[in-house]
Structure 1
Amino acid sequence: MVDVGALRALRSVAALGTLARAAEELGFTASAISQQIKRLEREVGVPVLAPAGRGVVLTPAGRAIVESAPEVFQALERCAEAARSASRGAPRGTLVVAAFSTAIRGLLAPTVGHLSTRCPDLRVDIVEQDPDHALRSVATGAADLALVHDADGLPAVLPGSLTQRHVHTDAGDVVMRREHPLAQREEALTGNDLAGHAWVTSPPGTVCHQWFRRLVADVSGEPDVRHLIDDFSTQLSLVAVSGVIALIPRLARPPLHDGLVARPLRRPPKREVHAAWRRSADASPALRAVLTELDRVPGLTAGGA
């Protein structure tokens, strides 16, 4: 019989291209992954990997095994969840959630806090990963649930074994000192309102920098960007001491101290956040408990200190 651990290792190697990267994702050493693959080859009687430069590639036999693997894992997961549901409806055990950093701050942190009281037998472990990595972790079984966002308006590509649902719409606001001229505006700000003001913004290559460039696209002249900072708490520190303004996603925004205010935009940049999980885990009481608690997270508003 094919060892399930070896099958999982082969699938991870196929996705990542090297034994070392698969080992890192699964939490093993490269030597342990190699031993699992060799055990699998002994069980099936044919090689499943072949060297290719510094990495490896699947043999035809290995490709056939990997293509059949989702059905195996889904069947095993359905068996486990059926047993859990039949024996007890209460969520328990450990659920691993992979999510991007601001979703952890704005959505998962309050969810875990409430679950600790409502579901004392359920442990939620969180790992920070970008959307593509998070989806791969769920597909390979390294995580049970992923929180992902669309990239510049384009949804993440969902593997066929996963399903998803919308959980939140995140938007960006402009944060400034309370005495800043824009802070006195009662109506939502436009791109033209922002002309001539100094900025701290996220570095190029980030979603928030793309948001910023679209926001100022119609403003004449090049925006006055003084600082390029990836950490939003550091951005807010610079806003507080130097008078620059910042475009901050609501999920990423900590409570603002008395000297700062957030002002909404007439056309705020937005991103949609989805939860994704394996279809075979639909009946999981633990998964359902986390999804239900995510629905209870209060909506985040634009204004306020």
Structure 2
Amino acid sequence: MIDVGSLSALRSVAALGTIARAADELGFTASAVSQQIKRLERQIGVALLAPAGRGVVLTPSGQALLDAAPDVFQSLERCAEAARSVADGTPSGVLRVAAFSTAIRGLLAPHLPSLATACPDLRLQVTEQDPDQALHSVAAGTADLAIIHDADGLSPRLPASLVHRHLHTDLGDLVMHRSHPLAAAGQPLTSADVAGLAWVTSPPGTVCHQWFRRLVSDQPGEPDVRHLVDDFATQLSLVATSAVIALVPRLARPALGDDLVTRALTPPPMREVSAAWRRSADASPAIRAVVAELLSGADVS
């Protein structure tokens, strides 16, 4: 009989490209993962991996095995969820959540106290991961629930084994010192209103930098970007000097204090935030409880 743990190890090695990276993800030593793969090859009687540079790739037999593996994993998880459901459907145990940082700060953390009250036997284990990595973790079984966002209006590609549910629409606002000339604006600001201003922005490659570039795309010349800072609290400390303004998602926004104000933009920058989990875990009381709690806070602003 095929060893399920070894099959899971093969799945991680195939996804990550090296035994060492798979070992880090699974919490094993590289030697242990290598032994699992060799055990699986002995059980099946064919080679499953082949060297490729500094990494490894699946052989045709290994690919055929992994192509059939999702049915195995989903069946096993359905068995486990059926057993948990019989136990009266009370959320319990550990739910492993992979989420991007601002969702942890602005969406998940505010709900942890009420979740603890409503589900005292449930413990959340939260890991910060970008959306692509979070989806991989859920698909690979190293996380149970992913909180993800779209990228510049494009939804992440979900494997067929995953389902998702929309949680929240996150908007971006301008943040400035209350002495700034635009602070007195009584209506949403446009790209023309911010032409020529000095900025602190998130680094290239982030959703917030994409928002910023779209906002200034019709302005002549390069925008006056004074600082590139990933941490939003640090951005706001620079905005507090009154020399620059920032474009900050509402989920990511710390308390502003007395010196800073926000102003809306038109059209508003936005990103859609969703939860994703394995289709085979759809009946999980823990996942249902957490998703329902997050939906109850969909009006974060």
Per the normalisation by structure 2, the TM-score is 0.97
Q: Which residue of 2 aligns with 1:9?
A: 9
What letter is aligned with 1:166? Answer: H
Q: Which residue of 2 aligns with 1:44?
A: 44
Q: CA deviation at 1:165?
A: 1.2
Q: CA deviation at 1:111?
A: 2.4
Structure 1 pair 37/191, CA: closer, same or farther in 2 (3 Å)? same
Q: Which residue of 1 aligns with 2:161?
A: 161
| Paired positions, count | 301
Q: Which residue of 2 aligns with 1:173?
A: 173
Structure 1 pair 84/190, CA: closer, same or farther in 2 (3 Å)? same
Q: CA deviation at 1:29?
A: 1.6
Distance 1:156 1:112 in 2: 26
**What is the RMSD of the two structures over their aligned residues, measured on CA atoms?**
1.1
Alignment of 1:1-305 (within 5 A): 1-301=1-301
What letter is aligned with 1:93? Answer: G
Q: CA deviation at 1:150?
A: 0.9
Q: Name whichever of 250-259 and 212-221 sits farther off.
A: 212-221
Distance 1:298 1:208 in 2: 20
Distance 2:87 2:228 in 1: 54
Distance 2:221 2:47 in 1: 61
What letter is aligned with 2:250? Answer: R
Q: CA deviation at 1:179?
A: 1.3
What letter is aligned with 2:81? Answer: E
Q: Name whichever of 153-162 and 26-35 sits farther off.
A: 26-35
Deviation string, structure 1 residues 23-63 (Cα, Å, up to 9, x no partner): 11212221111111111112212221111221111122211
Q: Identity percentage over the alignment?
A: 71
Q: CA deviation at 1:286?
A: 0.4
Does the CA contact (< 8 Å) of 2:20 and 2:30 recur in 1?
yes
Q: CA deviation at 1:68?
A: 1.2
Q: CA deviation at 1:21?
A: 1.2
Distance 2:259 2:144 in 1: 41
Deviation string, structure 1 residues 120-168 (Cα, Å, up to 9, x no partner): 1001111111111111111110111111111111110100100111111
Please state whether the residue corresponding to 1:51 is helix, strand or coil.
Answer: strand
Does the CA contact (< 8 Å) of 2:97 and 2:127 recur in 1?
yes
Deviation string, structure 1 residues 257-298 (Cα, Å, up to 9, x no partner): 111111111111111111111110010000101001111125
What letter is aligned with 1:283? Answer: A
Please state whether the residue corresponding to 1:175 is helix, strand or coil.
Answer: strand
What letter is aligned with 1:197? Answer: L
Distance 1:220 1:300 in 2: 35
Distance 2:167 2:192 in 1: 32
Deviation string, structure 1 residues 209-237 (Cα, Å, up to 9, x no partner): 11101001122332211111111110000
Please state whether the residue corresponding to 2:239 is helix, strand or coil.
Answer: helix
Deviation string, structure 1 residues 88-128 (Cα, Å, up to 9, x no partner): 21100111111111111111112222211110100111111
Please state whether the residue corresponding to 1:5 is helix, strand or coil.
Answer: helix
Please state whether the residue corresponding to 2:272 is helix, strand or coil.
Answer: strand
Long gaps (5+) in structure 2: none
Q: Name whichever of 197-206 and 67-76 sits farther off.
A: 197-206
Distance 2:53 2:190 in 1: 53
What letter is aligned with 2:68? Answer: S
What letter is aligned with 1:170? Answer: D
Please state whether the residue corresponding to 1:241 is helix, strand or coil.
Answer: coil
Please state whether the residue corresponding to 2:148 is helix, strand or coil.
Answer: strand
Long gaps (5+) in structure 1: none
What letter is aligned with 1:277? Answer: W
Q: CA deviation at 1:197?
A: 1.6
What letter is aligned with 1:148? Answer: I
What letter is aligned with 2:96? Answer: V
Please state whether the residue corresponding to 2:127 is helix, strand or coil.
Answer: strand
